[in-house]
Amino acid sequence: MEDRNETLDMAKDNSKQNGTSKDYGADNIQVLSGIEHVRKRPAMYIGDVGVRGLHHLVYEIVDNSVDEALAGHNDFIYVSINQDGSVTVTDRGRGIPTGIKKDTGKSALELVMTVIGAGGKFDKNSYKVSGGLHGVGASVVNALSEWCEVEVRREGKIFYQKYKRGVPEAPVKEVGKTKESDHGTKTTFMPDSQIFKNREFRYDTLADRLRELAYLNRELKIIIEDKRSDKRDEFHFKGGIQEFVVDLDKEANRMALFKKPIYMEGEKDGTFVDIALQYNNSYQENVFSYVNNINTHEGGTHLTGFRKAFTRTMNTYATKNDLLKSAKNIQLTGDDYREGLTAIVSVKVPEPQFEGQTKTKLGNGETQTIVETIVNEKLAEFIEQNPSTAKIIIEKAIGAATAREAARKAKELTRRKSALDSYSLPGKLADCSISDPEHCELYIVEGDSAGGSAKQGRDRRFQAILPLKGKILNVEKARLNKMLENEEIRTIITALGTGIGDDEFDPTKIRYGKLILMTDADIDGAHIRTLLLTFLFRYMRALIEAGRVYIAQPPLYLVKRGKEQVYAWDDEERDDAIKRFEEKGKDNIMVQRYKGLGEMNPEQLWTTTMDPENRTLLKVSIDSALEADKIFSTLMGDEVEPRRKFIESNAKYVRRLDV
């Protein structure tokens, strides 16, 4: 007790010396410049300082060039990943103004590149529509770069300025002459190693986003080149989002139900609406919405307007033409029309109001009204002229409605059965004692053997175990009603507590803060893990987006010599362990290869895979919903050839797999 009091007294003395107790006053308040604040809190501006944030730097510069295209002043963007790891973005826009701004005495170029909130996006005479509305893009990239240089071509002259960590090395200067017709901006930057641990840009990640932008802006030609290799792509889609929809289904091996996508466009009060849609033979909906080229992952008023108008117009047509006879008194809902729908909903809005800096949900009420008006008019016109297409859509929706009704009955039966159980939880679930979800985690484990070890080895306070028997249903090839007939899937749904289906799924009701998939590190284990991820992606995507889904990483080897032992998660770690034991002699070195989780006793499983102090968990994330949809459709769909090609081209990236 005396030691504790002495420690407390020392802490009090230190707090006085460090000014952390009573000496908190005006002098303690720090005022950071915009650049300093960006460097101190980069995640506030680019999301994070990992791979996603690194690539976001490129998107910020590219978005400026796209905004020039939206304003009608640019038709070309060139992006190159340079040999030194820097990135160059060049366009044929008007070029950033370089004249002196009177109230500052500085070049407009310098202000744009060094002052947070400086830009032309706030002036609606310069940009009617813009994706970069916060005026932070170029200056944030500059602040987070080791060095950055900008070359502007305008008014027959070439201007140049270079910066080091956001600070100009010299004033803007004229460095050459060019033709009056030659105009645009060229920006080259090197991400700062003080900010980003990993500065290696991924070509495919950038190419996917640039390709998406080319679909959304059919007048734009975009070229990306990787000077570290021989990769180069050129994107120019004259068909715009109609090509986008066709290619989405084609790449995911979904068969279209009619020849050409339905296309609707219109303009009202300065808002431009661009919509393309197609139906296919799958059971999932794949609708992607955009505002001023920004992918609104959480949707918003533009998507709501599309869905309401689409359902109302199709139901009006179906009733008018007596097409609901086979529906057996089932009213078609918006959910029914979503099955097998692939669509792009793109709007260009003069004054978009987003929820937060991440810009993932549109809030403008007037946009919903505009979209509804245009869809009502254009869709009604189309289906009157194309009755065979309208009939295909309605028959698809009737099939979905019938399955929905069957699913409803299956869910009711499941709930009645659960009510008979005093705890309403699966019998095979070994639950934890803590009830606060944020402090609980559920391990979904492959097989009863591994489940037994996990149950014995876990910390019962916060770790729950749910063993699965065999492989769950491949939900990519089944409707919800068939899926609910699968006992293992029903068990997972009940254990999680979130419900299932558009009408009742609620991610906030999850009973565990972490959902951890723990399967064997072999082919079967990888297959089971993929089946589980497919189910979560298609029916509980919000759990992945909330960062609640993880993959456990069990070791592949145990290397022993006498009483010493080392676990290894791949062949390289195994070889390193063997070498370390060989400084001590080559005799009595034993290598055990784990064929499955069940081969580990409870203590070993806890030590290597479940102990929060030692374990390695991989968080499952969705960087691109488009790419994720394509991968799941390829891996879990009916077509074999695309799956074979995907596996062959990506096999080199596989780690920690026991084959």
Reduced 3-state DSSP string for 15-84: HHHCCCCCCCCHHHCCCCCHHHHHHHCCHHHHCCCCHHHHHHHHHHHHHHHHHHHHCCCCCEEEEEECCC
Residue 461 lies in a domain: yes
- The better pLDDT of the pair 396, 357 is held by 396
Q: Is 329 helix (H, G, I), strand (E, B) or coil?
A: coil
Please, what's the b/e burial string for 458-489 (b: 16 or more CB within 10 A of its CB; e: otherwise)? beeebbbbbbbeeebbbbbebbbbbbbebebb
Higher pLDDT, 500 or 387: 387
Residue whose C-alpha is closest to residue 473's, from 461, 463, 483:
483
Cβ contacts of 420-426, under 8 Å, gap ≥ 24: 424/494, 425/494, 425/495, 426/466, 426/491, 426/494, 426/495
> What does the CA dihedral 453, 455, 459, 460 come to, rounded to 10 degrees?
-170
Boundary (domain end) residue, out of 213, 235, 257: 235
Tell me the per-residue pLDDT of 20-66, one tens digit each, with 9 for 90 and over.
445 655 555 445 568 888 999 998 888 889 999 999 999 999 999 99
| Rg of the chain (C-alpha set) | 29
The residue type of 474 is: N
Task: List the CATH number of the domain containing 147.
Answer: 3.30.565.10
pLDDT single digits (tens) 268-285:
999 999 999 999 999 889
Amino acid letter, residue 458: R
333 and 468 both lie in a single domain: no
- Give pLDDT, residue 638: 62
E strand or H helix at 394: helix 387-420
Angle, CA 311 vertex, CA 300 and CA 247 arms, to 5°: 70
Between the two ends of the chain, the Cα-to-Cα distance in Å is 57
Residues 313-318: what's their mean pLDDT?
Answer: 96
595 vs 600: CA distance, rounded Å: 10
What domain count does the chain have?
Answer: 3
Q: Does residue 133 sit in the same domain as residue 176? A: yes
pLDDT at position 114 over 50: yes
Residue 312 gets which letter from DSSP? H
Kindly write down the DSSP assignment for every residue of 562-625, as one continuous string. Answer: TTEEEEESSHHHHHHHHHHHGGG-STTEEEEE-SSGGGS-HHHHIIIII-TTT--EEEP--S-H
Average model confidence (pLDDT) across the chain: 86
CATH number at residue 463: 3.40.50.670
Which pLDDT belongs to residue 22?
A: 53
Is 115 inside any structural domain? yes
- What is the predicted pLDDT for the residue at 12? 38
| Residue spans of beta strands (DSSP E) within 257-325 | 262-268, 271-279, 286-291, 294-295
Rounded CA gap, 520 and 445, in Å? Answer: 9
List strand residue ranges (DSSP E) for 155-200, in order. Answer: 157-164, 167-168, 173-177, 184-191
Same domain, 205 and 250: no
Pick from 219, 235, 251: which residue ends a domain? 235
616-648 pLDDT tens trace? 898 988 766 666 666 767 666 666 666 666 665
Domain assignment of residue 538, yes or no: yes
Q: Are residues 535 and 444 in the same domain?
A: yes
Give a yes or no: residue 196 inside a domain: yes
Does one domain contain both 217 and 323? no
Summarize pLDDT for 184-218 with one digit per residue, the tens.
999 999 999 999 999 999 999 999 999 999 999 99
Closest CA relative to residue 168, chosen from 186, 143, 193: 143
Quick: pLDDT tens for 226-251.
999 989 999 999 999 999 999 999 98
356 found inside a domain: yes
Structure tokens at 270: 């300065």
Quick one: 638 exposed, middle or buried, by C-beta within 10 A (0-12, 13-18, 19+)? Answer: middle
User: Is the per-residue pLDDT at 8 higher than 70?
Assistant: no
d(CA 190, CA 87): 7
pLDDT over 90 (residue 584) = no
Of 404, 427, 454, the position where a domain reaches its end is 404
In a domain, 590, yes or no: no
DSSP E strands in 305-375: the ranges are: 341-348
Looking at the structure, tell me whether residues 128 and 183 fall in a common domain: yes
Measured CA to CA, the distance from residue 67 to residue 64 in angstroms comes to 5
139 Rama sector, left if φ>0, alpha if ψ -120 to 50, beta otherwise: alpha
What is the mean predicted confidence (pLDDT) over 66-82? 95
Instruction: Say how far apart CA 139 and CA 120 lie, in whole Å.
Output: 13
Give yes or no: residues 524 and 626 share one domain: yes
Structure tokens at 54: 């690194």
Find, among 550, 546, 540, the residue nearest to 514 by Cα: 550
How long is the chain? 659
Q: How far is CA 89 from the centre of its chain?
A: 24
Residues 211 and 266 in one domain: no
Distance CA 62, CA 65 (A): 5
Q: How far apart are CA 46 and CA 42, in angstroms?
A: 6
Strand-strand pairing, 145-154 and 262-268: unpaired
Please state, as a whole number, how many other Cβ atoms lie within 10 Å of the Cβ of residue 220. 24
Q: Is residue 16 part of a domain?
A: no
264 within some domain: yes
Q: Minimum mean pLDDT among 28-32, 101-105, 571-575, 605-609: which range? A: 28-32
- pLDDT of 134 strictly over 70: no
Q: Among 124-138, 187-201, 480-494, name the most confident range.
A: 187-201
How far apart are alpha carbons 213 and 240 in whole angstroms?
Answer: 10
Type of residue found at 193: S
User: Per-residue confidence at 16, pLDDT binned at 50, 70, 90?
Assistant: very low
Residue with tokens 């959910």: 335
Residues 220, 274 share a domain: no
Average pLDDT for 151-165: 96
Q: Residue 539 belongs to what domain range?
A: 436-554+618-653
In angstroms, the CA 581 to CA 108 distance is: 64
257: tokens are: 């139900």
Active site residues: 446, 520, 522, 524
- Same domain? 440 vs 491: yes
Rounded CA separation 392/373 (Å):
24
CATH number at residue 266: 3.30.230.10
In a 3-state reduction of DSSP, which class is residue 557?
strand
Give phi and psi for 265, each to the nearest 5: -145, 155
pTM for the predicted model, two decimal places? 0.75
Between strands 341-348 and 286-291, the pairing is parallel
Orientation angle between helical segments 625-636 and 523-539, nearest 10 degrees: 130
| pLDDT above 70 as % of the chain | 84
pLDDT tier for residue 18 given thresholds of 50, 70 and 90: very low
Three-class SS state of 372:
helix
Q: What percentage of the chain's residues is helix, strand, coil (to nearest 5)? A: 40, 20, 35
The predicted structure's pLDDT at residue 640: 63
CA nearest neighbour of 200 among 64, 58, 65: 58
Claim to verify: residue 255 and residue 223 sit in the same structural domain: no
Task: State how far the Cα of 342 lies from the Cα of 280, in Å rounded to an integer.
Answer: 7
The model's pLDDT over 545-574, given as tens digits with 9 standing for 90+, comes to: 899 999 999 988 999 988 888 999 888 889
DSSP output for 504-534: T--GGG-S-SEEEEE--SSHHHHHHHHHHHH
Residue 4, pLDDT above cutoff 70: no
**205 and 296 both lie in a single domain:** no
